[in-house]
């Protein structure tokens, strides 16, 4: 059986890697890395089953982090990513993608005064 954690993580990385030309990290950036960079993270997931199929409903966070004095740079970087991934088709080994759509947004400034802007995406997968 295919592993959605690895397969979808690889697909997201491949889709957003060429966008902003900066580093991309799964879940957490190393502490010695300076922004700008992007982070994606699996937040939650549930399995679903019918009589002859199964799949998963997952939620992933994708965000941009900027060290600028104002949040506009993080928003602009994330906006480019959002325009690329919203309802896009991903190549997810071992699964059929049903949907990849944003369900909420976020922005905040961390203790180091870096701006974070991003969204939570619902991803619906089915095993073939």
> What domain range is 70 assigned to?
4-126
92 DSSP 8-state letter: -
What residue ranges of the chain have pLDDT lower than 70?
A: 1-2
pLDDT tens digits along 104-124? 999 999 999 999 999 999 999
Per the structure, the count of domains in the chain is 1
Closest CA to 36 of 65, 77, 78: 65
Looking up residue 54, the CATH number of its domain turns out to be 3.30.2000.30
Closest CA to 71 of 22, 105, 43, 41: 105
Q: What is the pLDDT of residue 1?
A: 53
């Amino acid at each position: 059986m295919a592993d959605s954690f690895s397969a979808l993580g690889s697909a997201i990385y491949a889709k957003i890697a060429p966008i902003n030309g900066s580093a991309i990290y799964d879940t957490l950036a190393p502490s010695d890395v300076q922004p700008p960079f992007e982070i994606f993270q699996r937040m939650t997931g549930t399995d679903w089953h019918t009589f002859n199929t199964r799949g998963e409903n997952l939620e992933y966070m994708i965000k941009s982090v900027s060290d600028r004095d104002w949040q506009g740079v993080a928003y602009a970087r994330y906006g480019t990513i959002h325009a690329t991934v919203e309802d896009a088709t991903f190549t997810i080994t071992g699964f059929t993608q049903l949907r990849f759509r944003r369900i909420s947004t976020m922005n905040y400034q961390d203790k180091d005064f870096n701006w974070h802007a991003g969204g939570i995406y619902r991803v619906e997968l089915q095993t073939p």
